[in-house]
Structure 1
Amino acid sequence: MALAGQSPSADKLDPHVAGSAASGALGKNVWDRLVSYNNDLTLRYRLAEALEPDADGTEWRVRLRAGVLFSDGTPLTSRDVLYSIRRMLDPAKPSSADLSMVDLARTRAEDDRTVVVGLKQPLADLGSVLAGWYVYVVKDGSDVFDATTLPVGTGPYMLKSWSPGDRSLLVRNPRYWEAGLPYLDEVEIVQIAEPEARVNAFLSGEVDMIDQVPAVRASTLRTEPGVSLVDAEFGTMAALQMRADVAPFDDVRVRQAMRLAVDRQAMADTVYLGFAELGNDLYGLGAPFYAADLPQRTYDPQRARDLLRQAGHENLVVTLTTADSSPGQLDSATLFAQQAKAAGITVNLETVPAANYAAQVSGQKPLTHNNWWNYSLDYYYGQTMTSDAPGNSGWRRPAWDARFYQARGTLDRQTRAGLYADLQKELYDEGGLIVHNFVKQPAAVRSTVQGVPRFTLGSDDWANYRSAWLSA
């Protein structure tokens, strides 16, 4: 399997730190989560069999699945969950934002299979947070994750070897808790950062499956003999990110003008060849509480010119730092630069290496790409939009933060929906994201590989190799 990776210096094995698609696929096949997402972002229970809140959502009882063993034969218990939570809350780890609402002083083991999770504030849906990228259960005491100290997990495979920035070899875990799975004896995950290079590796026979196929290649691979495409159920956010705390984007009129300078339909048709749905400057299409009723923003270069004139930024010149790190990213940058000219905006492209773009460039320079996968609004906002979030890109409004915490803690679903609608309206009017499309990035699979399910990037069925098998 070839997936997007990172450079050897940036690649990490630790599931509470690792950030690339390749490391995410490795993590979910070696370890496991308490719960994960179905493709529609509802919950699928994994190591947990039940999540039960108290009356106000400030304490949750997590009941573990019986009979789960680590690959070394050690039973999974509440001690492992408590250790993992404490470890994830290390402020030096990006996982700390995932569980920042957890009150460790009130979090305890009730018995071997029950953990009581105390929270600093009410949370209506703990599961949507536990299904986040970094929230894996590791064995109690595990703290070294490297090529010489291969860790154990409860996932379908065991790690046999790991070469950072290059490849990982996984072998079947005979103690895996899902009866009869996995089918394959070995899976090798190969890291290839550039989408086109992944396609070439697939066509040459180096790999049997690739993720995130560019649209232009998907169109031709669909008719290739001996190849099938596995389509994504929901598209992944393709956006430009303006830092709202850096000139000229610290002026809301400039941010509004930039959003009016992109032709979303032309982007979908030209760059993604129909493998996309229109974005509307908000994250989360298909997720619960997504504000689908807001008016679709359209291409209006004259209105953009008027706003820039009012802001004193007529004939605006900006730099978009881009990379070939996601399918269609370079092409979308080039097309946006062309579209923005009609609004009097000159977009200069600065191309950088793809390997560490997501971790070291996206959201950190004034104008970059932002290509988040599919998660709940609870999770995404906690990771990126609150003032102290690790992925914050200059949107720091304490009043917005307070309303977000109120929304995520409101147990009544209808009331919570209204609160999330208000939060999204403010982001729609004044935020820094230019969400032009939600891109459906299929996987390409050789016909000899069977049992690969449809997926949504970020769901439990993405990188689900436990159900895959080989035909003659």
Structure 2
Amino acid sequence: MNTQQVPLDDPRFPGLHRRGFLAVAGGMAGLGALTATGCAGPGPADTAGKGDGRPRRGGRLRAAFAGGGASETLDPHLANLFADVARAKALFDKLADYGADLSARPRLASAWEPDAGLDRWRVTLREAAFHNGKPVTAQDVLYSYRRIADPKKAFRAKASLEPIDLEASRALDQRTVEFVLKRPTAEFPNVLAAFGAYIVPGGEQDFDREPVGSGPFRFVSFAPGKSAVFRRNEDYWDGAPYLDEVEFVVANEESARINALLGGQVEYAHELNPATARAHEGKGRIEIVRLRNSVMQSFAMKTDRPPFDDKRVREAFFLMADRRELVDGALSGTGEIGNDLFGKGYEYYAANLPQREQDLDRAKALLKRAGAEKLNVTLDTSPVAAGFTEAAAIFRDQAARAGVTVGIRTGSKDSYWKDILDSGTLCSYRSGAMPIEAHISQRLLTGSTTNATKWHHKDFDALYQQAQSTRDKQERAAVYERMQRRLYAEGGFLVWGFADWIIGTARTVRGVEAKAPANSLDWARFDKVWLA
């Protein structure tokens, strides 16, 4: 990957983070801005905030992120990098966002209600105002969604809004939107929470000079590729932030971010690697925060071509993997073992399926029955993501113990995700957090454009449509479990682990939520952070 702006969720692989979750490029850009800001001052403190553990007001928090250079923007509909998204959620709001279990939680929407057919949803807005004092209205919502859906633009939430017939949707009054859908969609709140689906004032197009949102912070300044400063919005509908200001600074290299944190130039360092976390955790200089179950780690087998068109071969590969060895070796132990399903800990996850263990004898027997003894396969991988090449080498050795020869082919960081979408048979794969329903719809249906495992089954598609047409949540959950049992038995994703997302903070920082995976509401939630 070069230093041009690249997507948080690659357009071919939603959830695959190329800058942030995948690779950081560039050098020390932006660190010059770090030394000029000084240490956070005490600010106007509440009387309750002195050493008793309760939140206090005041101070500026400086947060270091990998950036995108001069091409960075504050247009929330173009938010691609982690830095972009953190800035966007400070300035803007969505109708909904994802909770820790990746279920949709109301934000600007105070309520939503479907009709009997699940193809018409009425959304009620809470009383909220933009930074210019104007109320957030149903017309602003429709303008924002129609802007995102513009076929001439490449806004990241466009695909997520596809179920909505935006021409037929209408404002019933200032605070009520009626969304007309193209088909029954029981999980429509996930659309409202979609990455990048921010609400902006009607008619607004220019966001880089003085953007106006409804978020917890107001715009002060922005230097693309260097820094952005935002100030507390005292009138925020969800309560004014504790901080006076938050400053986002660019430090592309992980070493630059940790050194700035250790040197007191920033109070928050995003995206640290496991080795850094081990070196500093519990040593008293900084705090390490681990966001559990943030990144699925897997190998993807293409089920439409030999040898993985035989489900016995796929099951054999499931049984070759020693998941604990992969997590310990490739992730330095900073994660949990997987069970060949996406979304551990998320809503609808089939947690009652038995944990799959390595069973080399059964793997050999399955390969023999499939006529695939002494199998030779190529595993595509790349240094595009932390742990990819390490996991590939570990799995190669595990497969050898089952009589399978795995040759490792290392691809380019620049083109890896594009290359593996259609070519090859086995590849390293990862994904950030998203609802299980979205994972299924974007990756596992016959028409899914990012179907890396080439899982094409009309009966599986029909189950998804059944789930989306089922109003009762328990009944819907039963359909999702049935789909996951099918994937567990014969799917193409060998999910061996879930990696922690690691953040470093100064010891004075409080309120960073450790239970929230990256991509969820409480990740980078600077309106709830304070300085002790």
Query: Which residue of the partner structure matches residue 216 of structure 2?
Result: 156
Number of equivalences:
461
Within-5 A mapping of 1:28-67: 28-66=89-127
Cα pair 1:325 1:357 within 8 Å, conserved: no
Shift of the 210–87 alpha-carbon distance from structure 1 to 2, 3 Å rule, reads same
Deviation at 1:419, TM superposition (A): 0.9
Inter-partner Cα distance in structure 1 for 2:487 and 2:337 = 17
Contact 1:213 1:443 in 2 (8 A): yes
- Aligned: 1:382 with 2:441: yes
Query: For 1:430, which of 452, 468, 490 is the aligned residue?
Result: 490
Instruction: Give 5+ residue unaligned stretches, structure 2.
Output: 1-62
Unpaired segments of 5 or more residues in structure 1? none
SS at match of 1:102: coil
Question: CA deviation digits over 1:346-384, x for unaligned, max 9?
Answer: 23141544xx67865674654444332333222222232
Deviations 1:368-425 (A, max 9, x none): 4433233322222223223333432222333322221210221112221221112112
SS at match of 1:372: strand
Q: Return the letter of the residue paired with 1:445.
A: T
Indicate conservation of the 8 Å contact 2:501/2:517, yes or no.
no
CA distance in 1, matches of 2:67, 2:319: 33
Q: For the Cα contact (< 8 Å) 1:242–1:363, is it kept in 2? A: no
Q: Which of these residues, 127, 135, 138, is aligned with residue 75 of structure 1?
A: 135
Worse overlay, 366-375 or 49-58: 366-375
Report the Cα distance in structure 2 between the residues aligned to 1:43 and 1:417, rounded to whole angstroms: 15
| Alignment partners' CA distance in 2, 1:12 and 1:397 | 41
Q: Which amino acid aligns with 1:241?
A: A
Q: 1:234 offset after TM fit, Å?
A: 4.0
Q: Contact (CA 8 Å) 2:292, 2:335: kept in 1 or not? A: no
**C-alpha distance in structure 2 between counterparts of 1:458 and 1:371, whole Å:** 14
Q: What residue number does 1:451 align with?
A: 511
Structure 1 contact 97–390 (Cα < 8 Å) conserved? no
Q: 2:387 aligned with 1:333, yes or no?
A: no
Indicate the residue corresponding to 2:324 in structure 1: 265
Give 3-state SS (helix, strand or coil) of 1:231's partner. strand
- Output the aligned Cα RMSD: 3.0
2:200 counterpart residue number: 138
Change in Cα spacing, 1:198 to 1:301, as seen in structure 2 (3 Å) is farther
Query: Could you say if the C-alpha distance between residues 94 and 381 of structure 1 is closer, same or farther in structure 2, counting changes exceeding 3 Å?
Result: farther
| Equivalent residue in structure 2 for 1:25, among 60, 82, 86 | 86
Greater Rg over alpha carbons, structure: 2
Specify which of 258, 262, 275 is matched with residue 216 of structure 1. Answer: 275
Aligned to 1:110: 172
Structure-2 residue corresponding to 1:469: 530
Letter in 2 for 1:262: A
Measured in 2, the distance between the counterparts of 1:249 and 1:268 equals 24
Give the Å deviation of 1:218. Answer: 2.1
- 1:251 Cα deviation after fit: 4.6
402, 408, 417: which one aligns with 1:348: 408
1:21 aligned partner, one-letter code = F
For the 8 Å contact 2:292–2:499, the answer to whether it is kept is no
Could you tell which deviates more after superposition, 265-274 or 199-208? 199-208
Decide which of 380, 383, 394 is 1:320's aligned counterpart. 380
Aligned to 1:409: 469
Q: What is the identity percentage for the equivalent residue pairs of Structure 1 and Structure 2?
A: 35
Q: Take 1:6 and 1:365, find their aligned partners in 2: how far apart are those partners?
A: 29
1:170 aligns with 2:229: yes
TM-score, reference length from structure 2: 0.77
Q: Which amino acid aligns with 1:346?
A: V
State the alpha-carbon separation in 2 of the partners of residues 103 and 383 from structure 1. 19
- Quick one: distance in 2 between partners of 1:261 and 1:90? 47
